[in-house]
Structure 1
Amino acid sequence: MSLHYEWTLGLRLRPDAPESFLAELRFHLGLTDQLPDDPVLEYDWPCLVADSDDALPGGGIRSLVVQQPHLGRPGSLGLFVRTFVLDDGMYELMQSVPMWLAPWSLTQGWIGEAREELDLHPWLYFYVQNGHAYVAEPGKTIEPLSDGAPPFTLRQTTDIPEPPGGAGPRLLATRRT
């Protein structure tokens, strides 16, 4: 018997994400039927869409919406996916999709989790930092998904862009008490 995994991803995309990336993302979300020319992912099917008869309560969810959560800052696209994946597919997808999303993620830190369908707790957590994807089992060290990625150093999740030079989020105002 095969295992199934509930996979949830949620992040904001950078405002400068190229149209080629967004077109491929729309295809993998099932929002368009046309796979773009020269896709990055090696899937010719919408890999982020759950089957209509999956066992997830409420079904699979996929959302790509324009959001502007911070006044005075550029808007971004918010991505949310909740899907149900067979074990073989999960092992493939978890190696490729987070690394594909990472360079265009405005969100820095936690971006999702995977849970085996019968377990109470997540099996893996997914993270992004400075264009690199990371993964960790609960309570374990956060490890890069690709060779050459720097160690994961974030202490919190944010979607506030870093200023030039990468000195961390800019403090826009201070208040004295």
Structure 2
Amino acid sequence: MSLHYEVVFTCFLREDTPAPVLDALRWHLGLTEEPPPGYGEEEYAYPLLRPDPHTRLPGGDFASLRLQDKGWGLYSRNYWLDDDMGELVTVLDLLAPHVASPGPGGFFREEDETRPTVFTFRDGAYDALKP
């Protein structure tokens, strides 16, 4: 039996985030159909943050990337199988060098847990902190 997780990314990326990073994020979020160069191949076979219209999350999956006063505002909420949790590194590696300010940037939690594991970003790197 598989475990299921709620995965949330919520952070600001610097306004000068390189176009290839934003293109990759848009593809992962399902905001563009065509993968950018280097994506859609074996290493990045499918978008990781694209909302699933048949999700079991209350209120549904969600994906947003837009330029705001503080930079590029990213918010995504998805329902992941435990088999996909290893792919968190793909998204964290993409985001970490471009996060606008240090601190929390999202979380994941197994669907029956009450306490999430929080992602924190600092100095171009990330950590996952248990409560």
TM-score between both structures, scaled by the size of structure 2: 0.91
| 1:96 shift after superposition | 2.4
Amino acid across the alignment from 2:27: F
Matched, 1:85 2:59: no
1:6-155 map, 5 Å:
6-39=6-39, 42-69=43-70, 76-90=71-85, 92-122=86-116, 124-138=117-131
Cα distance in structure 2, aligned partners of 1:52 and 1:98:
24
Amino acid across the alignment from 2:15: P
Alignment length (residue pairs) = 129
Amino acid across the alignment from 2:36: P
Instruction: Extract unaligned runs of 5+ from structure 1.
Output: 70-75, 139-177
| 1:36 shift after superposition | 0.7
Asked if 2 retains the 8 angstrom alpha-carbon contact of 1:30 and 1:46, the reply is yes
Stretches of 4+ moved more than 6 A in 1? none
Instruction: Extract unaligned runs of 5+ from structure 2.
Output: none
Asked if 1 retains the 8 angstrom alpha-carbon contact of 2:29 and 2:48, the reply is yes
- What is the identity percentage for the equivalent residue pairs of Structure 1 and Structure 2? 40
| 1:56 shift after superposition | 0.4
Cα distance in structure 2, aligned partners of 1:107 and 1:99:
16
Asked if 2 retains the 8 angstrom alpha-carbon contact of 1:24 and 1:35, the reply is yes
| 1:88 shift after superposition | 1.2
Cα distance in structure 2, aligned partners of 1:50 and 1:116:
18
Cα distance in structure 2, aligned partners of 1:52 and 1:10:
20
| 1:125 shift after superposition | 1.1
Which structure shows the higher helix fraction? 2
| 1:130 shift after superposition | 1.2
| 1:35 shift after superposition | 0.6
Higher relative contact order (CA 8 A, sep 6+): 2
After superposition, the CA RMSD in angstroms is 1.5
Larger Rg: 1
Amino acid across the alignment from 1:117: E
Amino acid across the alignment from 1:80: Y
Q: Per the alignment, in what secondary structure is the counterpart of residue 103 of structure 1?
A: helix
Q: Per the alignment, in what secondary structure is the counterpart of residue 97 of structure 1?
A: helix
Cα distance in structure 1, aligned partners of 2:21 and 2:111:
30
Over residues 78-116 of structure 1, what are the superposed CA-to-partner deviations in whole Å (9 max), with x where a residue is unaligned?
Answer: 0001100000101x1222211221001113111011111
